[in-house]
Structure 1
Amino acid sequence: MIQSKYLLILTICSVFIYVGVKFRNNTVATKIEPVIYYQLKDFNTVKKFDVHIHINTKETHFIQQAIADNFYFQDIVDDRPFGVIMDQQQSFAKIHLNNFPDQMNFATTFKVSNWDQKDWVKSTIAHLKQSFAQGATAVKIWKNIGMDLRDENGDFVMVDHPRIDSVLTFLSETGIPLLGHNGEPRDCWLPLEKMIFNQGYYGSHPEYHMYLHPEYPSYEDQINARDTMLEKHPNLNFMGAHLGSLEWSLEELAKRLDAYPLMRVDLTRMPNLKLHTFNNRQKTREFFITYQDRLIYGTDTAINPTDDPDELKDRIHQRWLDEWKFYATDNPLKLKGYGKLKGLKLPREVIDKIYFENASKLLGFKTMG
């Protein structure tokens, strides 16, 4: 009996010694690396990518500034019913891609003016194949689907429509990403007094203020149709423009990022991001760190032929620099109508992802350096 007790004690001691050695070994092997941050002065030395640009001119002033600021970018073609038409936008994109192939790529789109034609799916896929042969690496789907296009019965066509499914299946099979601008900011469906940032615009353009047009699909209709689209196409590489039209709630956006593993969003609604930071900086910062692989920097900047070259360059540079300050530093900033806040000061590895690596992975974009 005594020998058995000694044997038990010896065994227990051996386990403790083993665990202690193993713990010490793990402690040595898992050395904690210090968190490294960028500073404001690093802006020019870090390569960056703006995933949401619209170039509506042959002029190259914007591209010259992008080169000076170490920015690469994606030029996006839209099927807009106003301004520069789709074909002209694509023509500009091809010209710039031919002249600056190492600085940019472009996203094509497809028209819906021929929606009622029986061969719409076939002709749309043929157009996309031709665009890919000309250098396009992504496809944009715009808010006219869901807010303008109607079928032969007068019903609104949403992004989860069966005919659109055929096009999205084609994109899933080829691995081409879809960029989705679905609906408008939630403000569009709210009364003016409940809006956060858009009172001026919708007050001046009541024709676009959906709160005044209940016969149109609701905000929830737009989001639900987009979510249904993603559920039907789980292999589709998708980037939701403008924070996935969920700019008002990081919680709602997080739910979608959790539910759809191939969903990313661009960061093109900066006032909302600043407001989230103003209200709860720690929570906003944790969101960025948690979803650092799913967030892509963008500005939704439009470059038009009427832009003054010097003013354009200065405006673009200042915006890029100010937003770098917000993401990379904890410098004081102001949000009009609210007050002061501090930048997020995200770790360098997070900045590298949202400013370049995530876009590169989604679009297959590579630089020479």
Structure 2
Amino acid sequence: MAVETKYAEWRRENPVIDMHTHISLERLDDAVQFMDDNGLEAMVDITGHTGDPFHGLMEAREEYDGRFEAFGGFDFEDFGTDGWIEREIDRMERYVEAGAVGFKIHKALGLEHTDESGEVIRVDDDRLAPLFDRAAELNTVIAFHIADPKAFFEPLTPDNERWAELEENPEWWWGDREEYPYDWWQLIRQLERVIERHPETTFLGVHWGCAAEEVGYVADVMRDNPNYLLDVSARLSEIGRHEAEFVREIFLEFEDRIMFGTDLGVWDPIMLGAPQGFEPTREDVEEFYDAHWQYFETDEEEIAHPTPIQGDWTVDAINLPREVLSKFYTGNARRHLGI
């Protein structure tokens, strides 16, 4: 049974775009079913595929009459060698022509990707600058997932507030500075420098600018950089820990630059914002979306957030006005991603 908020009927008549999902080509029909169940017009795969997976999604875009869109990605193999930047700029140009709505850079940048000398590549490495300059010329968005929740950089013990999630996904722990040289704030500040250095390029900070624990800091970066966009995917558990009116005011201030996304993974098993250790059903997906509608459309306090494995706490809803929801749910994705 869907949650009937005050905007439920309006939302059914004005379908939503989930601009942050991950979709298996083998489960496209399931993705369509989830969209129809939950009042979605389209899903955007933001995995950042290259090669056959990317082109398969572009074919699906045509076959399913626009229900799917996709970000392209970059291949960091051979980074720093002659020809790498030319190869990836050529990829960007071809993927834009094929219909990519933007390009995703994964959190492996700054953590795992290495250059020709074996050094971990900084997020703000100047050798990436030509990609961002070309993106501006092509009027395409560069999306960054940098770092991860703060807790993933803290000691890996049962006292860690995200212990349940890290126990399920131990490869997400980045707390060993011998192996991963940059701490959380270093990575976040590196991203900020990229945004500042390329004011003509539109950047998207996924997961609330990759820093949902620091809602005010992210708002300050947006104030300083009008080329910076956000999505909210898989971070209501963190955003919702902040005082509801404070968060609401940020949404109102940046109503043209924040987009709706969930981090739903339509693969095997389904992912409800994070791998959760069980196999979700169609009904679980509906509850997942209902938790989002409840957070954004009501003023209820101490409600469950969409992804319980991300933290055993409640959140307070922010009760956005309908004109803001219209931009957040659909209009901003149309404007910035060309959907």
Scaled by the length of structure 2, the TM-score of the pair is 0.85
CA distance in 1 between counterparts of 2:313 and 2:286 reads 24
Distance 1:261 1:130, change over 3 A: same
Partner of 1:89: 53
1:203 Cα deviation after fit: 4.3
Partner of 1:54: 22
More deviation, 130-139/331-340: 331-340
8 A Cα contact 1:39 1:329, kept in partner: no
Q: Deviations over 1:270-289 (max 9, x none)?
A: 1112222xxx2222222222
1:2-41 alignment runs, 5 A limit: 38-41=6-9
Distance 1:40 1:329, change over 3 A: farther
CA distance in 2 between counterparts of 1:76 and 1:334 reads 26
2:323 is aligned, of 349, 354, 359, to 349
CA distance in 2 between counterparts of 1:324 and 1:252 reads 25
Distance 1:261 1:194, change over 3 A: farther
Q: Deviations over 1:219-254 (max 9, x none)?
A: 122112111111111011111011111110211111
Partner of 2:338: 364
Gaps of 5+ in 1: 1-36, 80-85
Distance 1:146 1:307, change over 3 A: closer
CA distance in 2 between counterparts of 1:339 and 1:111 reads 38
SS at match of 1:212: coil
1:144 Cα deviation after fit: 1.3
Partner of 2:258: 295
Distance 1:48 1:341, change over 3 A: same
**Which protein shows a greater Rg?**
1
Distance 1:222 1:342, change over 3 A: closer
2:246 maps to a residue whose letter is: K
1:227-242 alignment runs, 5 A limit: 227-242=192-207
Partner of 1:15: none
Partner of 1:328: 297
SS at match of 2:43: strand
2:48 is aligned, of 62, 71, 78, to 78
8 A Cα contact 1:125 1:167, kept in partner: yes
Partner of 2:184: 219
CA distance in 1 between counterparts of 2:205 and 2:212 reads 11
1:181 is aligned, of 145, 149, 164, to 145
More deviation, 260-269/314-323: 314-323
Partner of 1:270: 236
More deviation, 330-339/184-193: 330-339
SS at match of 2:110: helix
Q: Deviations over 1:285-337 (max 9, x none)?
A: 222222222211101111115559x9553333222222111101224523567
Q: Which runs of 4+ in 1 moved over 6 A?
A: 193-196
Gaps of 5+ in 2: 272-278
8 A Cα contact 1:264 1:295, kept in partner: yes
Q: Is 1:317 aligned with 2:282?
A: no
Query: Aligned Cα RMSD in Å?
Result: 2.6
SS at match of 1:144: coil
Distance 1:254 1:193, change over 3 A: farther
Structure (1 or 2) with the greater helix fraction: 1
Partner of 2:274: none
Partner of 1:145: 109
Partner of 1:25: none
Distance 1:124 1:105, change over 3 A: same
2:138 maps to a residue whose letter is: T
8 A Cα contact 1:53 1:300, kept in partner: yes
Q: Is 1:162 aligned with 2:134?
A: no
CA distance in 1 between counterparts of 2:59 and 2:315 reads 42
CA distance in 1 between counterparts of 2:84 and 2:157 reads 42
Distance 1:118 1:69, change over 3 A: same
1:261 Cα deviation after fit: 0.6
CA distance in 1 between counterparts of 2:158 and 2:203 reads 31
Q: Is 1:113 aligned with 2:77?
A: yes
Q: Deviations over 1:129-180 (max 9, x none)?
A: 2212221121111111111111233221122222211111100111111111
Distance 1:257 1:116, change over 3 A: closer
Scaled by the length of structure 1, the TM-score of the pair is 0.79
Q: Deviations over 1:108-146 (max 9, x none)?
A: 011112325311111111112221222112111111111
CA distance in 1 between counterparts of 2:165 and 2:173 reads 9
Q: Is 1:63 aligned with 2:32?
A: yes
8 A Cα contact 1:58 1:92, kept in partner: no
SS at match of 1:155: coil
